[in-house]
Amino acid sequence: MPKKYINIILIALIILGAFYLYNKYKVAPKIDFQKLELLDMEGNAFNFESLKGKKTIVSLGASWCPNCISEMNALAKIKDTELSDVTIVIIDDEPLEKVIAFKERKNYSFLFLKLNSSFPEIGIHSIPVNYFFNKNLELKKQQVGEIEWNDPSTREHYKKLME
């Protein structure tokens, strides 16, 4: 086979590989939150529909993730002032005892839930991942990666999305 064809095949494989990796790690998967098995901090089943009537940010993250913690810290600083009408839900796939200990250590006022499976099982390969819902629990946006909550224009953008 001529070298020219080998180069074309290699370039095509590189492009396909880059596309695959981008979709896997930078595009938030569509998740049917009503079908997820979620537990509250007492180990009871949590019904996602109970959030209806509230603007909601769902953040999938973990206690070992520096970007997740940074984002939670930023959200904690603005929760009572700029996001007082928004419910913030943190979903973690770590063991329930770890999630409870993390919540107590950090003293966040967010609703913490334990995913009863692993993130990869629901298509999450990079955290944090944020999902924004309006009061009707309609998904308005999803985003992979830490959000810069300290930027006022970013805050306003996401608040308007949830209207």
pLDDT digits (tens, 9 = 90+) for 24-44: 677 678 999 999 999 999 999
Gap between the Cα atoms of 131 and 124, Å rounded: 12
Q: How far apart are CA 134 and CA 138, in angstroms?
A: 6
Which helix (H) or strand (E) segment holds residue 99: the answer is helix 96-106
Band (pLDDT 50/70/90 cuts) for residue 73 is very high
pTM of the entire structure?
A: 0.86
Instruction: Give the pLDDT confidence score for residue 29 in this predicted structure.
Output: 82
Q: Residue 11's pLDDT is what?
A: 82
Q: What percent of the chain has pLDDT over 90?
A: 81
Pairwise CA distance, residues 149 & 136, whole Å? 24
Q: Own/partner pairs for 141-147, CB < 8 Å, 24+ apart?
A: 142/28, 142/30, 143/28, 144/25, 144/26, 144/27, 144/28, 145/26, 145/67, 146/67, 146/68, 146/70, 146/71, 147/71
86-92 and 55-60 beta bridge pairing: parallel
Residue 21 pLDDT greater than 80, yes or no: no
